[in-house]
Amino acid sequence: MYVFKTFIMLFATALVGCQDAGTQVIDQPNLPTRPNILWLVAEDLSPIISSFGDDTVATPNLDRLAAEGVRYTRVFSTSGVCAPSRAAIATGMYQNRIGAQHMRTTNVSGFGVEGLIAYEAVPPPYVKMHSQYFREAGYYTSNNAKEDYQFRKAVTAWDESSNQAHWRNRASGQPFFSIFNFGITHESQVWAQAENPLRVPEDLEVPIPPYLPDTEIARQDIRRVYSNIIAMDEQVGRILDELEADGLLESTVIFWYTDHGGPLPRQKRLLYDAGLQVPMIIRYPDGWRAGESDEQLISFVDFKSTALSLAGMEPPDYVDGRAFAGEFQSSEERQYIHAAADRFDRQYDTIRAVRDARFKYLRNYNPEQGYYLPLTYREQMPIMQELLRLRDLGQLNEAQAQWFRLVKPEQELFDTESDPHELVNLATDPAYAEKLSELSAELDNWLSGFDDKGMMPEPDFIREIWPGMEQPVTRSPTATQQYGRVVLASTTEGANIGYQILAADEELAGTWSVYTEPVPLAADQRLIAIAHRIGYKPSSMIELVGSTL
């Protein structure tokens, strides 16, 4: 069993372990040649756990991970909501670069936006999902079970993506890249769990951000957030129990992180730190840097490169991110992180952000539009209903009322050290003119590097990637013979080809092998092949019989 020790982090030890802001780690963990990579992903959660300084509830499983691993304290999503952020993680590219910026694209039923249809983002043809690189290197890849990438997963992306997906389904001795997602901390669980008993005392004192009301309704929802954290910690513990029971603890790099910031009003969907900043712990084999804290700036676009680097694979050169650990760790320090906010359900806005180690800059492209966007989904939450009730009664204080301002400035600048809730806009303060200019120029520099798809009306963008509002179809693979092997190809640029080799009477399986080189085919076998470019429909399947070659 994965028996947990009591987690004690002495202040002096923490000081010794901390890296100065911007420090680049130069040593590397002692990893196996092909280490397993395990991602444990909670949803909708800011750094409000004990190992990151919030001791409201106990999280013994995460505490042990922190004691045996590295706490990364400046990690940021590229969006304040899940689907665009997952697109960035899976591709290593900013969501507004690949047309995945709107929340969400593949399910727009009920939004009622004129000219809007469900569609898939279409990344450039050279883009492959993170998991496919692992598959091509011989890893077993499993995802349990959330996808939500703004596009259908490539047929070659995973060995298994389902509620039953697990590294235990791999071949003996095969290394794995496995993801487990924990939805209990999702925004929806604040109200969906209301009928279940709290896992915390009914009168638990909870921290209330100044932008939320201090009422019993609000406190109860925040208690539910912490109650769900306890449940998530237990779920993480069960996966870790299985890892240790399988004898894989010291051959696995374990990531625990969350898919963006917190679930509460003025957190999720916004580009304040409450919506972007996430806690992350990585446990490396052999106790490398155990118990330390690392303050380097990390973006979600860095995750793909880092996972590949830790497995000894050089990241592709098209990604926007950089490896912050492993064989191919970048020698350059990250000076800034970037983020974007666009459509949420039926509500449009366009905001871009850049942050250094201390200051956050926001550029509002629709200043005539207020901050608050009415969302039916979010208004199921009692604390949101409470905010609206108090607003209508004129009983919100200045900090609470800020979100409901009817217009917003074109530029905002926040000192996240002295003003962690980002309530004091310094953009017009002459004392910060130099910092404002620096970050504004950096935002321009970021956006000059690609065509920001969020600047185009969404229906026009759909017509650009799906001519005639029809999804392109990947062309079926062709097959030729070469030196007794089958060579597969598709004329659709960027198509991934999957294949299965079956006996004469064998049924098609659910998993496609990734085609990387010509394959042998015996006379008594059949080969089934399919092609799929991300964002396109998969092709029709072709079938070859070995006896006819």
Q: Which residues are catalytic?
A: 82
Q: How far apart are CA 45 and CA 239, in angstroms?
A: 19
Inter-axis angle of helices 303-310 and 82-91, nearest 10: 40
Tell me which residue of 531, 472, 471, 529 sits closest to 496, measured CA to CA. Answer: 531
Burial of 304 (0-12, 13-18, 19+ CB in 10 A): buried
Pair 366, 343: CB distance under 8 Å: no
Per the DSSP assignment, residues forming a β-bridge with 142 are: 160, 178
CA 100 and chain centroid, separation? 13
Pair 545, 505: CB distance under 8 Å: no
Q: Which amino acid, one-letter code, is at 476? A: S
Q: Is the peptide bond before 145 cis (omega within 30 degrees of 0)?
A: yes
Q: Where are the alpha helices (DSSP H) in 402-477?
A: 433-447, 458-465
Q: Is the peptide bond before 152 cis (omega within 30 degrees of 0)?
A: no
Pair 178, 172: CB distance under 8 Å: no
The DSSP letter of residue 400 is: H
Tell me which residue of 90, 61, 88, 52 sits closest to 295, measured CA to CA. Answer: 52
Beta-carbon count within 10 A of 314 CB:
12
Q: Is the dihedral of CA 310, 91, 87, 34 positive or negative?
A: negative
Residue 266 structure tokens: 């003025």
Q: Tell me phi and psi for residue 344, to 5 degrees.
A: -125, 115
Pairing of strands 496-503, 485-489: unpaired
Q: Is the dihedral of CA 218, 148, 34, 244 positive or negative?
A: positive
HSE-CB at 425 with a 13 A cutoff on CA atoms is: 13
| Helix/strand/coil (H/E/C) assignment for every residue in 275-344 | HHEEEEEEECHHHCCCCEEECCCEEHHHHHHHHHHHCCCCCCCCCCCCCCCCCCCCCCCCCCEEEEECCE
The DSSP letter of residue 106 is: S
Tell me which residue of 112, 122, 20, 30 sits closest to 73, measured CA to CA. Answer: 20
Residues contacting 404, CB < 8 A, separation 6+: 370, 371, 372, 391, 396
CA 294 and chain centroid, separation? 20
